[in-house]
Structure 1
Amino acid sequence: MHEYVSRILEGVIRRDPEQKEFHQAVTEFLKSVDSIIDQLPRLRFEKILERMVEPERIVQFRVPWVDDSGSLQINRGYRIQMSSALGPYKGGLRFHASVNLSVLKFLAFEQVYKNSLTGLLLGGGKGGSDFSPRGKSDREVMAFCQSFMTELTRHIGPDTDVPAGDIGVGAREIGYMFGQYKRLANEFTGVFTGKSPVWGGSFIRPEATGYGLVYFAEQALMDAGLSLSGSTSLVSGSGNVAQYTIEKLLERGSKPLTISDSEGIIYDPEGIDNKKLAYIKTLKNVKRGRVKEYADTYRNSVFTPRSAYGEGNPLWNYPADYAFPCATQNEINEVDARNLVANNIKAVMEGANMPTNLEAQHILTGSGVIFGPGKAANAGGVAVSGLEMAQNSSRLQWTPQEVDARLVSIMKNIYKTVDQAATTYAKKGDLVAGANIAGMLRVSDAMLAQGYV
């Protein structure tokens, strides 16, 4: 690594030594852009990279709320406003016990370059809380969301910062938060995306990340002379992204074999068909149940509890053609990567944010596996969020067909942009480098034009 780039990374680690996830995201990014530092001297002279790794603003606050027993509970709330070089801050809110500054800074950092790849005028941010909706009543979730938004409202707006959903934040939570924002700000604006189409949301937004992931994968596979038709796929997770990835894989002729949640994994050797997918959607979205119940209903499937995991996740040890990690960060480690390679996996496409650690990524790409990094492959969600913002601004609502057509076009363009950057600055097929470099170039151009901000 270039001495200048190494010094930036060392500074990031020295300032925040405990923020391991943020270090990982920055390390991957800097390794990619390292090769073009000497070609673009203004990056060093104007200290663009030093500014990119430092958030523009971090908001942290207390969230008091009362549970159903009448007891006062206290959680932490956050909003990381990473970069507004290309537009208002844009990124989801995550409600999960694992949320901390390191996780949110890594997500916000990734979001900046993901958003830039869409070609839309979107900055990057992320936020959330260590509150978990799991096991809470609707009233408790509403009480938390209203308290959370009472503080966050003063930091966001349709031209400032537009949050969306993420892990633990679905239609219910977005509805409660939007309602509280509207109540406090006394305005009905597009300050949230992921809203119901009934009150300002876009069609295809719930499906967008999963659909977009498959659209991106199709382009990458086509470039390599491969196809989803007649294939088998491993999908992790069982939430929104995983569900719609499975739905689109089925449409394209691939047979999904797996799902998972925090308690374990399901392997169905017969494949997950549309009837089984409908069961999963009801189980997770309506009953808010656990995937173990799938094995109780479909007896030929196998459930492996998390307590039975070894050094790796057994989901990635089942043979298949393609893998779509859609659960959470760092779910594929070195053991998993070696298992995938040993089973001749042809491609890994990231539906989650940074689900593959750096060592595993190196093993996969070094073995010739087509690797679609999350900041490119899962950009479909934020792309349709950007389209939702456009619809809100014009007080119009496009048809599902119009939105889906735009999503297909955006994902095709993302792949072309990433592939071209990889070919020009790194090597053909290095989609990680291509995504980081292409995203960095667009953001840096805006930063250079806007002065020392």
Structure 2
Amino acid sequence: MTPTLQEEFETVVRRNPGEVEFHQAVREVLESLGPVMERRPEFVEMGIIPRICEPNRQIIFKVNWQDDAGRVHTNRGFRVQFNSVLGPYKGGLRFHPSVYLGIIKFLGFEQIFKNALTGMPIGGGKGGSDFDPKGKSDNEIMRFCQSFMTELSGHIGHDIDVPAGDIGVGGREIGYLFGQYKKMTGRYESGVITGKGLTWGGSRARTEATGYGTVFFADEMLKLSGESFDGKKVVVSGSGNVAIYALEKVNQLGGTVVAMSDSGGYIVDESGIDLEQIQDLKEIRRGRISEYADANGSARFVADGSIWDVPCDIALPCATQNELDETGAGSLIKNGCTLVAEGANMPSTPEATRALRAAGVRFAPGKAANAGGVATSALEMQQNASRDSWSFEHTEERLKEIMVGIHSRCSETAEEYGAPGDYVLGANVAGFLRVADAMMAFGVI
């Protein structure tokens, strides 16, 4: 990092104390921007870095809700509207006990560049709450979502800010949130939120999009060296939507997913994880991944240890931030892994990323490799705006085109800036340039 960028980073840390995930996300981008600042000194003169690191708006609100026993609970809600020079703020809502302002800001900051890389007219934002949906009844979740949307509704709109789902926010929660927005506004503004059900404005392939997109991106990386997924052993962390549909697409492309995980541990099945069984276990029965091993003699469950100890050719971290640390990266390198593509948001620690890149492992950051979800959300917005509904096949083809385009932008930008094959630099610089050029065009606002 250049002295000027280091000074900007230290200012971010000083002004946002304790928000370690946000600091990590900012550092990761700024470390790539030295060559850009040398070529474009006007970005320094116009204060682009401090302006892009400061959210346009940070909204924090109280969410009161009543459980089934009549007890009243209070949670904290957030919406960080980070940057809208390319379009309305766009980013998911996360309901999880770990949520605090620093998590939402890190996710919103990443979202700026991820959305820019799609080439679509969407800005960056993120939101959520420290509410934990686990163990709650449907009625409790409904009451929470209604209270949350009551507070949020005045800050969103299809031309202002369009939330979606994230961890803890699936189709059920989106339905409750949209229903409350409709009741409060008296409008059927279908474009105000994405991830909706297919019968009321949702997009086909949205559920599959992030997992599919990650695999599409990894496939493009393989093609550059004349390879494919055919015959490759793949490890996928997590067992939610992203992981399940990464598994499905890997299978379709000829690879074999040999390990998946949840918070209780991981399973290994050298014959290949069975897609239908995982879908039934996780999407219908909402069970633990250990149950897969109980029902399959070819699989084993490991409660302790790391999924990254499982030998593989390709690793797809699809669970949560900072799940792949330096030790895990060392295991992947030792066992001959040649490609890592992030399906989650910033799932690799800085130390892991450095170790993988230094060892020559091809590495795709989440802001590029997992952009398929938000890209398909933007496709949902297009369908809502035109009162249209596309087929699964058409939507998937558009998703693939977008992911191929993101890969090309990252690869070509890395080449242009003298770092061929460096997807981290390519993604950061390509995303930053699109946003920074728009900010320059708009003047000081």
TM-score, normalising length: structure 1: 0.97
Residue aligning to 2:415: 423
1:344 equivalent to 2:342? Answer no
Distance, in Å, in 2 between the alignment partners of 1:318 and 1:289 is: 23
Shift, 1:425, TM fit = 1.3
Distance, in Å, in 2 between the alignment partners of 1:448 and 1:186 is: 38
What SS does structure 1 have at the residue aligned with 2:50? helix
Residue aligning to 1:98: 98
1:293 equivalent to 2:274? Answer no
Shift, 1:266, TM fit = 1.2
Residue aligning to 1:328: 320
1:388 equivalent to 2:398? Answer no
Shift, 1:299, TM fit = 2.9
Structure 2 residue identity aligned to 1:199: W
- After superposition, give the CA deviation of every residue in 1:120-159 in whole Å (9 maximum; x if it has no partner): 0000000000011111111111011000000001110000
Q: How does 1:31-50 map to 2 (within 5 A)?
A: 31-50=31-50
Distance, in Å, in 2 between the alignment partners of 1:292 and 1:426 is: 46
Residue aligning to 1:89: 89
What SS does structure 1 have at the residue aligned with 2:347? coil
Structure 2 regions of 5+ residues with no counterpart? none
How many percent of aligned residue pairs carry the same amino acid?
Answer: 52
| Kept after mapping to 2: 8 A contact 1:417/1:438 | yes
Distance, in Å, in 2 between the alignment partners of 1:229 and 1:324 is: 16
Shift, 1:259, TM fit = 1.2
| Kept after mapping to 2: 8 A contact 1:364/1:371 | yes
Residue aligning to 2:254: 253
| Kept after mapping to 2: 8 A contact 1:80/1:126 | yes
What SS does structure 2 have at the residue aligned with 1:257? strand
Structure 2 residue identity aligned to 1:300: S
Report the more deviating stretch, 400-409 or 327-336. 400-409
- After superposition, give the CA deviation of every residue in 1:9-43 in whole Å (9 maximum; x if it has no partner): 00011112211100110001000012221110111
What is the alpha-carbon root mean square deviation over aligned residues? 0.9
Q: How does 1:87-166 map to 2 (within 5 A)?
A: 87-166=87-166
Residue aligning to 2:429: 437
What SS does structure 1 have at the residue aligned with 2:38? coil
Shift, 1:164, TM fit = 0.5
Residue aligning to 2:360: 368
Distance, in Å, in 1 between the alignment partners of 2:226 and 2:314 is: 14
Shift, 1:185, TM fit = 1.0
Distance, in Å, in 2 between the alignment partners of 1:404 and 1:316 is: 30
| Kept after mapping to 2: 8 A contact 1:426/1:433 | no
Distance, in Å, in 2 between the alignment partners of 1:365 and 1:205 is: 31
- After superposition, give the CA deviation of every residue in 1:191-240 in whole Å (9 maximum; x if it has no partner): 11111111001111111111111111111110022210011100000000
Distance, in Å, in 1 between the alignment partners of 2:73 and 2:282 is: 26
1:222 equivalent to 2:220? Answer no
Structure 2 residue identity aligned to 1:124: G
1:62 equivalent to 2:79? Answer no
Distance, in Å, in 2 between the alignment partners of 1:403 and 1:288 is: 28
| Kept after mapping to 2: 8 A contact 1:35/1:426 | no
1:414 equivalent to 2:406? Answer yes
Distance, in Å, in 2 between the alignment partners of 1:86 and 1:375 is: 16
Structure 2 residue identity aligned to 1:72: V
Structure 1 residue identity aligned to 2:327: V
Distance, in Å, in 1 between the alignment partners of 2:319 and 2:330 is: 19
TM-score, normalising length: structure 2: 0.99
- After superposition, give the CA deviation of every residue in 1:86-141 in whole Å (9 maximum; x if it has no partner): 00000000000111111110100000000000000000000000011111111111
- After superposition, give the CA deviation of every residue in 1:155-184 in whole Å (9 maximum; x if it has no partner): 100000000000000010001101111111
Residue aligning to 2:301: 303
